[in-house]
Each structure stands twice: as structure tokens, then as C-alpha cells.
């Protein structure tokens, strides 16, 4: 059974159709990329999956459960996590606290225990801190744990966002342009990290990217969309030779390997 299944999802905003009968399936432990020109609807699809938008029609199933139009936090609790196109770290929290927000959904102690500093809560708090620091360590961010999150260099901030999403222990991770603004070396490191995460945690990753080199080299399966519809799907070789894809990207430098 597919981990994630989108079935003919449509998203209309007034007169504008942003997503037009988009269907796909993501399996367990799979790495899949979603590419397409600007404005083709990629982030909208992510927003539909994660519950920020309710699709005009169509359905989304995760692990067999119908999640169409479910509240975002409930969807995350089921096991889907995401990052955003623009970096959106919590300004008022430091690095490790940002990550701990991702752990929050597993907190069992109620507020009263927290207020009274009961042992049950204290233990959970310590565990969460430990896990958060470990997660930061695996991304080589541990030494910055107590810095103000927004004071980090750009590349580190992006990694922090991913660490934060991973803290929710997702089965499916949606990454919206994770390598944006990174130089080729950083992007390469990031992709290696994503592969590492895939193998270690046995999760699936569905990512949106613009940098073709990043995507072509690593992702075994690529979906290309334009104007909210799938125009091609397959391996990097198949995509590169697809006429429709070449047409959609005509004039955009990115395709030539940036």
C-alpha cells in the first residue's frame, strides 16, 4: 500500500486553477522530487497535503487514512512533516528550542505537571532536550544550540528547519526547496544528509527543488508539473529527454545545470 496517495486533487482559487487533477503515490522509504517552473503549483500541492488548504476536489490518503481537509497539526501527528519555501524559524526561541517545538506533539504531561515541575514532566523535558541536541548534532549544529535561531548563517538556518521537521518523527518529510540559496557544495552536503536520513530513519522524502543538478543526481524518481498538472514522471534520464519538459523550461537557465 502506498504511503501517500493523491487522487485527482484540484485546487481552485476563485477563477484560478492552481492544481489540476494532480495524482501520485509515494511509497515507503522513497525519495521523490517535484519540479516545475515558477508558479506551477508545487507549493500549493504541499499545502494541500499538509492541510493548509482544503482541495476543491479530490482526495489524499496517508497510510490508508483519508486526510483530505484535516487540520494541519493532526496531519503532522499522523506522520507528515514539512519545511517552507521561505525560512520561517521562530524568532523568539533559540536553536534547540526551535527543534523542541517539533517534539511537542509527543509531550504526554499536561500543563499542570509542567507548572508543578512534577517528576514525570521533568523527565520528559530532559528527554526532549537530549533528543533535540542529538538531532542538532547529526546536522553539525549542536555547537550553536543556544544561539538565537535567526542569528545563524543562511545555510545553517535551512538545516535547522529540517532538524525541526525531523523532530516530529515523520514517516514522510516534505521539503520545499531545501537547497535554496546554498552554494553547490552546501547543496551537495545537504542532499547527502537527506539520503542519510532516508536510510537511517526509513522515512520517505518528497522534495521540491529548482536546482536541477541537485535533483537529477540524487532522486530516482522525478515528477514534473506545469500549470498544476503532471507533464512527465520518471527517472532523471527519462525526464531530461522529455520534450514537454524541455518546452516548459525553455528560457530558464536552471535546466542547463545552473
Residues that bind other proteins (CB under 8 A): 13-14, 43, 47, 50, 52, 71-73, 76-77, 81-82, 84, 88, 90-93, 97, 100-105, 107, 111, 114-117, 121, 124-125, 128, 164-165, 167-168
**Smaller CB separation from other proteins, 1 or 115:** 115
- C-alpha–C-alpha distance, residues 158 and 164, integer Å: 10
| Nearest alpha carbon to residue 212 among 187, 176, 232, 190 | 187
Shortest distance, position 112 Cβ to other proteins, whole Å = 10
**Contact call for residues 3 and 63 (beta carbons, < 8 A):** yes
**Smaller CB separation from other proteins, 207 or 222:** 207
- C-alpha–C-alpha distance, residues 24 and 8, integer Å: 8
- C-alpha–C-alpha distance, residues 128 and 109, integer Å: 12
**Smaller CB separation from other proteins, 87 or 218:** 87
Q: Exposure pattern of 181-199 as b/e (b: 16+ CB <10 Å)? A: ebeeebbbebbebbeebbe
**Contact call for residues 37 and 248 (beta carbons, < 8 A):** yes
Residues in the chain: 258
Shortest distance, position 242 Cβ to other proteins, whole Å = 30
**Smaller CB separation from other proteins, 62 or 121:** 121
- C-alpha–C-alpha distance, residues 236 and 11, integer Å: 28
**Smaller CB separation from other proteins, 22 or 255:** 22
Shortest distance, position 163 Cβ to other proteins, whole Å = 12
Three-state secondary structure string covering 84-101: CCCCCCCCCCEHHHHHHH
**Smaller CB separation from other proteins, 44 or 156:** 44
| Nearest alpha carbon to residue 194 among 175, 212, 171, 167 | 175
Shortest distance, position 17 Cβ to other proteins, whole Å = 14
Shortest distance, position 82 Cβ to other proteins, whole Å = 6
Shortest distance, position 205 Cβ to other proteins, whole Å = 16
Shortest distance, position 93 Cβ to other proteins, whole Å = 6
* Burial class of residue 34 (count of CB atoms within 10 Å of its CB; 0-12, 13-18, 19+): buried
**Smaller CB separation from other proteins, 14 or 257:** 14
Amino acid at each position: 500500500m502506498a504511503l501517500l496517495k493523491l487522487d485527482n486533487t484540484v485546487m481552485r482559487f476563485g477563477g484560478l486553477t492552481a492544481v489540476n487533477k494532480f495524482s501520485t503515490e509515494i511509497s515507503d522509504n522513497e525519495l521523490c522530487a517535484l519540479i516545475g517552473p515558477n508558479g506551477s503549483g508545487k507549493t500549493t500541492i504541499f499545502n494541500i497535503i499538509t492541510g493548509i488548504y482544503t482541495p476543491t476536489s479530490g482526495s489524499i490518503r496517508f497510510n490508508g487514512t483519508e486526510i483530505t481537509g484535516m487540520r494541519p497539526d493532526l496531519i503532522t501527528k499522523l506522520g507528515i512533516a514539512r519545511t517552507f519555501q521561505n525560512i520561517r524559524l521562530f524568532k523568539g526561541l533559540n536553536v534547540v528550542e526551535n527543534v523542541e517545538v517539533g517534539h511537542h506533539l509527543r509531550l504526554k504531561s499536561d500543563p499542570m505537571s509542567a507548572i508543578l515541575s512534577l517528576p514525570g514532566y521533568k523527565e520528559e523535558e530532559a528527554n526532549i532536550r537530549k533528543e533535540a541536541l542529538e538531532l542538532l548534532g547529526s546536522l553539525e549544529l549542536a555547537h550553536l544550540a543556544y544561539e538565537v535561531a535567526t542569528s545563524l548563517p543562511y545555510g545553517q538556518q535551512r538545516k535547522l528547519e529540517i532538524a525541526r521537521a525531523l523532530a516530529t518523527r515523520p514517516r514522510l518529510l516534505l521539503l520545499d526547496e531545501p537547497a535554496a540559496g546554498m552554494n553547490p557544495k552546501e547543496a551537495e552536503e545537504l542532499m547527502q544528509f537527506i539520503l542519510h536520513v532516508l536510510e537511517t530513519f526509513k522515512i520517505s522524502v518528497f522534495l521540491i527543488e529548482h536546482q536541477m543538478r541537485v535533483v537529477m543526481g540524487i532522486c530516482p524518481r522525478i515528477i514534473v508539473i506545469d500549470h498544476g498538472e503532471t507533464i512527465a514522471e520518471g527517472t532523471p534520464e527519462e525526464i531530461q529527454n522529455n520534450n514537454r519538459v524541455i518546452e516548459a523550461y525553455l528560457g530558464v537557465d536552471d535546466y542547463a545545470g545552473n
